Amino acid sequence: MAEALHWIGGALILAGALLSILGAVGVLRFPDVYTRIHAASLTDTGGATLMLLGMGLISPLGFVMLKLLLVWGFIMLTSPAAANALANAAFGAGVRPRIGTFQIMGEDKPGGSGPERSGEGTAS
Amino acid sequence: MTYALGLLVALGGFWFVLSGQISPFFGGVAVISVIATMWLSARLKVIDRDGSPYHRAPQLLLYLGWLLGEIVKANVAVIARVVGPSHAIDPAMVEVKSSATSNLGRALFANSITLTPGTVTVDVIGANLKVHALVRENAGADSFDEMDRKSARTADPHRASGS
């Protein structure tokens, strides 16, 4: 029984790690800061949840499990606050998101050159 | 007063789970740190409905269960976009109105949107939320309705019996 739990827990940790890698791939592939935040939230939610769940299955019954539950709770509380602060700061600094496949918000012409620099200097 | 009591129980429980000790020394340190935290919270005037929402714990737990299902669905959707072709994404910026009347309800709604991958709350102005979405069709007019309704029912006072 304990043996089976170890295997299941290990598989869950591996799945969480895979999800975190996918999140990192998304951060590299997506074009601007807002879409990258979406990719990073894969690591926050899915990756962290699966890994903590796996650790909970491997750990002995008791305080360790409760502590892992607390860690998960705090990640769920703090990661949206951090993501919101990041997005809000970017928007406040004048970085405008790409809207649709080509267009940048607030610009009429399609933004063909470097979406990362799209919003610089537009803050008034 | 009940809010202070809720915070006291939460802080005490938090300390006990983290330390796992019940010796007199650790108990004394626990009492000191809990009282210090309570005093700081009182000075900051955050011991109120929003700062100590433990009276809504059953509703919040139910809501968390539903939100977890949404997070799983959203995770799958975002993974599909990450590994898909580079033109698969269709970012959009939309305005969403929160029907919650309390700050707690609005914060819960905004954080739920941010927590689900694929949507991020960029700004909150009154009851209006500015939301950035990875895919336009996931941010249509009625796609946030269910979450809005559920979060408002979870956090707002005297709404538990309404549908």
Domains of chain A by residue range:
2-92
Residues B7 and B34 occupy one common structural domain = yes
CB contact under 8 A, A91 and B90: no
Q: How far is CA B106 from the centre of its chain?
A: 9
Domain that holds residue B19: 2-44
CB contact under 8 A, B114 and A83: yes
**Paired residues of B124 in beta bridges:** B129
pLDDT-derived band at B33 (thresholds 50, 70, 90) equals very high
**Residue B49, in any domain of the structure:** no
**Paired residues of A94 in beta bridges:** none
pLDDT in tens, B79-127: 888 888 877 788 888 888 888 888 888 888 999 999 988 889 998 888 8
A72 vs B100 pLDDT, higher one: A72
Q: Does B29 touch chain A (CB under 8 A)?
A: no
Residues B29 and B102 occupy one common structural domain = no
Residues B137 and B82 occupy one common structural domain = yes
**What values do phi and psi take at A89, rounded to 5?**
-65, -40
Residues B102 and B143 occupy one common structural domain = yes
Question: Is B109 within 8 Å of B129 (Cβ atoms)?
Answer: yes
Q: Does A98 touch chain B (CB under 8 A)?
A: yes
Strand locations in chain A, DSSP E?
A: 98-99, 103-104
Q: Does A47 touch chain B (CB under 8 A)?
A: no
CA distance B143 to chain A (A): 17
**Residue B124, in any domain of the structure:** yes
**Residue B140, in any domain of the structure:** yes
User: How many structural domains are present in chain B?
Assistant: 2
Residues B38 and B70 occupy one common structural domain = no
Residues B83 and B137 occupy one common structural domain = yes
CA distance B2 to chain A (A): 23
**Residue B161, in any domain of the structure:** no
* Cβ-based contacts of A12 with chain B (< 8 Å): none
Residues B75 and B142 occupy one common structural domain = yes
CB contact under 8 A, B82 and A70: no
